[in-house]
């Protein structure tokens, strides 16, 4: 399996002749020998098409003198390589790019625009060094990029998989070996592929960190997710959104506290209320002509309307407080309708008094 792809955007025909072309062919073969798939492009159009469609690129070699279609120069009078470099900077972040300089070109390093030095990590004169060394430089940069682009947990999982260690941490997590004992099991194994079963691991694998202690690669991944989402903290939850709904409910509301609940909510929200012992006050959404549930009317989420509904609801007498501590609404409906989340949260906030949280649910089931 290839470790990524390298785009060779070169003006020479890889099937043609000449010392320069043969040298580039050798460089391409060396890259393939090192586990990289090579994509050749002879024009700006070919290179840009590859950049749009190949998300697994891990490096590029771009000829500064790359021609555009029918030999036209790129916009602004620059050689075609400039357009490819700009497309790379728009499509990828920190992709390692080497600018290929032609031996017979009038364009030397001193003629390149300053921005090229920021877009490229190196320059290549194909006939000035061995194919093995040039390919080694490109391959090393491609491997470093491929490793850096992976998020923390997936990177650790791949490294653990590459170690080919047995995992006996939890019964049934045995790499799918049991499926190999019967014809139908082997068909199942072959259909999904061995890697799927080898990475079906327990949460007890020390090399991957702990969901309970939030350390190791799992802890790194949670902190990385918090950075991406702009959250103070992020914790991973197994078993999907339903379990996450229950966990949020457990934190936000407890026995005999009032929860405002969209009558169209997912059953996991109701399950969480049953476990917590909270008292639901249901808010009834609108329905369209097809009978599909839509959003709550804005008039029903005002502080006065909420207080009146709580006071009239049969489950609220005996609650620890007449104010709701928790609110759940169904944000994205089967109609494709969405609330203004910030505005709705602010509207519900006065009804919570000193409560803990207002939560929007995005269930679409």
Using 50, 70 and 90 to split pLDDT, how confident is the model at 354? Answer: very low
Q: Delineate the domains of the chain, giving CATH numbers in brackets.
A: 5-149 (3.40.50.2300), 152-229 (no CATH), 240-361 (3.40.640.10)
Residue 280: phi and psi, rounded to 5, are -80, 140
Using 50, 70 and 90 to split pLDDT, how confident is the model at 1? Answer: very low
Using 50, 70 and 90 to split pLDDT, how confident is the model at 364? Answer: very low
Q: Is the pLDDT of residue 29 over 90?
A: yes
Contact 166, 177 (CB under 8 A): no
Residue 62: phi and psi, rounded to 5, are -120, 125
- Could you give the 3-state DSSP secondary structure of residue 360? strand
Q: How many residues does the chain have?
A: 365
**Exposure string for 133-154, b = 16+ CB within 10 A, e = fewer:** ebbebbbebbbebbeeeeebbe
Which H/E stretch holds residue 189? helix 183-192
- Could you give the 3-state DSSP secondary structure of residue 77? helix
Check residue 361 and give its pLDDT.
Answer: 52
Q: Is the pLDDT of residue 277 over 80?
A: yes
Using 50, 70 and 90 to split pLDDT, how confident is the model at 221? Answer: very high
Per residue in 55-92, pLDDT (tens digit) is: 899 999 998 888 766 545 445 567 788 999 999 999 99
Q: Is the pLDDT of residue 256 over 90?
A: yes
Sign of torsion over alpha carbons 181, 184, 188, 193: positive
- Could you give the 3-state DSSP secondary structure of residue 358? strand
Span of 91-105, 205-219, 343-357 with lowest mean pLDDT: 343-357
Ramachandran region, residue 164 (left: φ > 0; alpha: ψ -120 to 50; beta: rest): left
Check residue 66 and give its pLDDT.
Answer: 83
Check residue 141 and give its pLDDT.
Answer: 95
- State which of 74-83, 108-117, 153-162, 168-177 shows the largest mean pLDDT: 153-162
DSSP 113-160: -HHHHHH-SEEE-GGGS-HHHHHHHHHHHHHHHHHHHS-HHHHHHHHH
| 295 vs 325: which has the higher pLDDT | 325
| 276 vs 110: which has the higher pLDDT | 276
């Amino acid at each position: 399996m290839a470790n990524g792809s390298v785009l060779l955007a070169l003006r020479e025909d890889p099937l043609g002749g000449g010392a320069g072309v043969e040298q580039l062919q050798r460089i391409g073969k060396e890259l393939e020998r090192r586990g990289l798939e090579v994509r050749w492009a002879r024009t700006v159009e070919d290179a840009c098409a590859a950049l749009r469609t190949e998300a697994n690129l891990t490096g590029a070699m771009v000829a500064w003198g790359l021609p555009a279609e029918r030999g036209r120069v790129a916009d602004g009078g620059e050689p075609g390589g400039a357009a490819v470099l700009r497309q790379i900077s728009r499509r990828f972040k920190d992709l390692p790019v080497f600018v290929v300089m032609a031996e017979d070109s009038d364009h030397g390093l001193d003629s390149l625009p300053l921005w090229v030095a920021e877009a490229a990590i190196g320059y290549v004169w194909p006939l000035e060094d061995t194919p093995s060394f040039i390919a080694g430089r490109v391959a090393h940069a491609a491997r470093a990029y491929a490793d850096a682009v992976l998020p923390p947990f997936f990177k650790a999982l791949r490294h653990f998989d590459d170690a080919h260690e047995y995992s006996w941490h939890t019964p049934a997590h045995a790499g799918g070996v049991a499926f190999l004992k019967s014809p139908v099991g082997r068909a199942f194994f072959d259909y999904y592929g061995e890697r799927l079963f080898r990475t079906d691991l327990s949460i007890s694998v020390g090399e991957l960190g702990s969901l309970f202690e939030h350390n190791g690669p799992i802890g790194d991944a949670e902190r990385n997710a918090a950075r991406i989402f702009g959250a103070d903290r992020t914790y991973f939850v197994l078993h999907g959104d339903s379990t996450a709904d229950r966990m949020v409910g457990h934190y936000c509301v407890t026995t005999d506290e009032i929860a405002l609940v969209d009558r169209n909510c997912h059953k996991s929200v109701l399950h969480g209320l049953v476990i917590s012992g909270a008292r639901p006050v249901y808010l009834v959404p609108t329905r369209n002509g097809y009978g599909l549930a839509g959003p709550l009317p804005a008039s029903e989420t005002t502080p006065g309307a909420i207080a009146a509904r709580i006071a009239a609801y049969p489950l609220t007498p005996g609650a620890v407080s007449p104010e709701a501590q928790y609110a759940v609404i169904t944000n994205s409906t089967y109609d494709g309708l969405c609330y203004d989340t910030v505005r709705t949260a602010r509207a519900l906030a006065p009804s919570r008094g000193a409560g803990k949280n207002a939560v929007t649910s995005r269930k679409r089931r």
